[in-house]
Amino acid sequence: MKSNQYEMILDAIEKMGISKTDIARKHTSAYDEFHVRGRAVSEELFFQIELINDSQVLDLGCGLGGTCRMLAEKYDCMVHGIDYSEQHISTAKSLSKLTGFEAKTEFIQADATQMPYSSDHFDLVITQHVQMCIADKDKLYSEVERVLKKGGHFIYYDVLKKSDEAPTFPQPWVDNKVYSFLISSHELENKLCSLGFKKIASEDQSQKGLNFLTNFLTQAEEKPAILTGQKILMGDNSIEKITNLYQALKDGIIGLESGTYEL
Ligand SMILES: C[S@@+](CC[C@H](N)C(=O)[O-])C[C@H]1O[C@@H](n2cnc3c(N)ncnc32)[C@H](O)[C@@H]1O
């Protein structure tokens, strides 16, 4: 196996018998959507918002850019992704080039609490499984409010705190609890409303996530090869991280929630 993240993904896809020149978004999506239920949940979440081809969309903590490419493909709109990790941004750019989305996606290495964009710029800001890595929630959500146009939407799909008990670490987002900053659904709603957002909808996604993880862990026991994408993103202890996530969800220590707000 290669050492570079992009080459590891290419390697894994080519091992399935697909040559580099034939690789399309449908082939990369098993590797570039780093949240529970992957591509399926992204498709459900964002299709409720009307986007047109001159809409400007921002994905906060875009990881390898899978959701950005999905939205660019579906709506032909421009999708920007920022991520703290230089390696993720480099892989996101390479995957967009490979699959023909270079003109419709732009990736920048940046901190979500200090975004390199002017105010009132985006029609839609999305984020999936990122805020639990960020300590300064006030800065994070006030930046979301700043870069969104009036009337624009914010959609999140996140891991939230459901009890005062800490989950067992490592978790998929961090190895150590010192770097984990979970907030509750109630705290999140209060923060967004205090910034002037209006809640349109929210959904507890915990049971759907639990069903997915139960199935995934069963399959991983039978066919360890399905863990290839997770190992590329989370390292060799990915099964331990996914098992800890599953257990914390099952015990009601954390929950998965999606929400849509309008400014
Ligand atoms: C679990 S991954 C999710 C990636 C992507 N949203 C997805 O669902 O495929 C969390 C991502 O958040 C990024 N991240 C963490 N803290 C960040 C920050 N302060 N600003 C921007 N990105 C951040 C990490 O580098 C990582 O790529």
From the alpha carbon of 173, which atom of ligand 1 is closest?
A: 1
Residue 184 per-residue DSSP state:
B
Do the strands 78-83 and 56-60 form a parallel or antiparallel pair, or are they unpaired? Answer: parallel
Distance of CA 209 to the CA centre of its chain: 14
Residue 225 per-residue DSSP state:
G
What is the value of pTM for the model shown? 0.95
Determine the residue of 82, 96, 130 to mutate for testing ligand 1's pocket, defined as the one with the most ligand atoms within 8 A of the Cβ atom: 130
Return the residue whose CA atom lies nearest to atom 16 of ligand 1: 133
List of domains in the chain: 5-168+178-204+255-262 (3.40.50.150)
From the alpha carbon of 157, which atom of ligand 1 is closest?
A: 8
pLDDT digits (tens), the chain, 263 positions: 445 999 999 999 999 899 999 999 999 988 999 999 988 998 899 887 888 788 999 999 999 999 999 999 999 999 999 999 999 999 999 999 999 999 999 999 999 999 999 999 999 999 999 999 999 999 999 999 999 999 999 999 999 999 999 999 999 999 999 999 999 999 999 999 999 999 999 999 999 999 999 999 999 988 888 888 889 889 999 999 999 999 999 999 999 999 999 99
Please tell me the distance between residue 17's alpha carbon and the centre of ligand 1 in angstroms.
Answer: 30
Please tell me the distance between residue 59's alpha carbon and the centre of ligand 1 in angstroms.
Answer: 10
Structure tokens at 62: 């875009």
Please tell me the distance between residue 134's alpha carbon and the centre of ligand 1 in angstroms.
Answer: 9
Return the residue whose CA atom lies nearest to atom 13 of ligand 1: 61
pLDDT at 130: 97
Return the residue whose CA atom lies nearest to atom 7 of ligand 1: 34
Cβ distance 260 to 48 under 8 Å? yes
Residues forming a β-bridge with 203:
258
